[in-house]
Structure 1
């Protein structure tokens, strides 16, 4: 078993090792597979077909497995590397350490949002966007969205999600107003900024606004924290398991669009039930 650390607690050597492993996965071409996969399984309420990655109960187990697959790719490069987490309630400004030159680099320049600092700047020659939603080849960010400021989620907003006593509820989509999953994912009706997970994507801006959001390496640190929050919720509500427990009935409009506890998650053919306990694989240093 290994430990995922808060990014602010990484040593200089650990930061260097993480960055080097990410760049190696990028050079191999495997990184593009992760970007394409996230784009493929980011299906909205308005689209037809199965919703596996977002706007559905499987949001959390799908991303837990996605994160594990990426972490395994990093560890094939360097077995010591794990995916750190970014606690956006604490490191909540563009001056936070994760945006430093020696780690993820900073925000984009004003005229085109191009990131020009750090190891993932296009000018360094190591980070060309090949599977974005636009034709741009460089990483983009707009931290805090200065033209129309947005704040990162607060501890109180996280607490409100953690206080939910059920995992999810019908109609199992972005419109549900109760349940931990959507409180954390953040599709809250009437709030254009979104909440929690969603607002972090908006705060970072640039590549993180698209379905190809893994093009920004901060995606992994963000989802590591989302996974940690799910872990906290599970420990706080041990009697409240993944829902729905069973495949939805034939008359339910969400049948075939929502994955129940024992149905397989694509593309790995593993059920959410197999992803509810990570204690044999990793832990979080809090």
Structure 2
């Protein structure tokens, strides 16, 4: 007989030490997140970016530096494109599983309720979906100057492509197809901006995309149970890489073939099934699993003596036969009935500032592109720097290459107040702006055929 914990039957249980507790995770489609989870996720990215050292920059640079060495020095270990010719170097799926987990763990040090959501790019393909809302992933495009061009390359996978891929039986053939074809590469190309380059972890949506990639690998492994690697080590996670004075853990890719090895589960369609897992507290002093819909624990989900874990839902937790919390385990089942104001009191980052923090320009001659031959390296990313911002007398705009273009400056009611043409230059400077009233303006750069290259907000002091 199963045991149900319903919202109407139990008061919310709340740990006073909530913010000091780390967590494991139930990852879910971002559309299944609560408003609180979305806010905390976005704030966590801002908090991590504003810390010193900046882990987002570090992870993006590492991904860029070790993206692919095939045409440079084949003896160097790298992350991408090792199949089919170099299976002895292959780590694509395992590396990115650990990579997303690293970022998720950093977030959970800030707030243990956070888990990395996933973006199902086979179903959610609109440029106006909630994923790109200004209070969610759209915030970073504005404040970090990502320059996304959603949908410019329409390579997102179809549900039937996903289904067919999951039927592939050979692991290396599956991994090679997965990496190079639309189920993985399509979102990198479709989002564009940094996502279409080897510096893709600059864009937070990279982690939502790769959480989905990880889910699909989990789904494939649940069917076939034949994942394996010839290597027993991975760059970054080989015991030699140090970030912020801390050496990152040693990870054998064959030890994380099952996402449950990291305490990671996937919720889908309102149900998170937790099974075949022993609470070990290897990564965290207390493991925390949060999902607003139904959590169902059973089939050898075990909390042994001395372990600490929490299952918390907004609606329902079901403890099925096969679930076991042994004597001496610190195990809590809870229903979250917190009000929005009470939720904010649980957060250490509720007041984080979502500030502008642009990345340095990418040298497009030095980055790899997710391309199948139809991407012009010089058109893949329009890199733009606008300075100073706030401005006083002048605005200088730096483009990625020389162009014929026009700068248009609008006030916030949409009136065109200044226009200036430039011929074959990558440095656009507009002077004599003393007469503009203090406030916010929009700068628009249009090329010689009328195509809008960039639209940015600037502030007049």
Q: Into which bin does the TM-score normalised by the smaller protein fall?
A: 0.7 to 0.9
1:211 and 2:211 aligned:
no
1:163 and 2:167 aligned:
yes
Which residue is equivalent to 1:282? 264
Which residue is equivalent to 1:87? 120
1:33 and 2:58 aligned:
yes
1:264 and 2:233 aligned:
yes
CA contact (8 A) 1:104 1:217 kept: yes
Give unmatched runs, 5+ long, in structure 2. Answer: 1-23, 83-89, 239-250, 269-461
Structure-to-structure mapping, 1:68-217, within 5 angstroms: 68-105=101-138, 118-122=139-143, 127=144, 138-145=145-152, 149-168=153-172, 179-186=173-180, 194-217=181-204
Which residue is equivalent to 2:310? none
Cα distance, 1:77 vs structure 2? 1.5
2-side partners of 1:10 and 1:267: how far apart? 31
**Bigger relative contact order (CA 8 A; separation at least 6):** 1
Query: Which of structures 1 and 2 has the bigger CA Rg?
Result: 2
Q: Normalising by the residue count of structure 2, what TM-score does the alignment of the two structures yield? A: 0.47
Cα distance, 1:120 vs structure 2? 4.6
1-side partners of 2:25 and 2:123: how far apart? 24
1-side partners of 2:229 and 2:55: how far apart? 33
CA contact (8 A) 1:42 1:51 kept: no
Which residue is equivalent to 1:225? 212
Structure 1 vs Structure 2 CA RMSD? 1.5
1-side partners of 2:109 and 2:203: how far apart? 21
Q: How many residues align?
A: 222
Which residue is equivalent to 2:222? 235
CA contact (8 A) 1:60 1:181 kept: yes
Structure 1 segments, 4+ long, off by >4 Å, are none
Q: Normalising by the residue count of structure 1, what TM-score does the alignment of the two structures yield? A: 0.74
Q: Of residues 43, 50, 53 in structure 1, which corresponds to 2:79?
A: 53
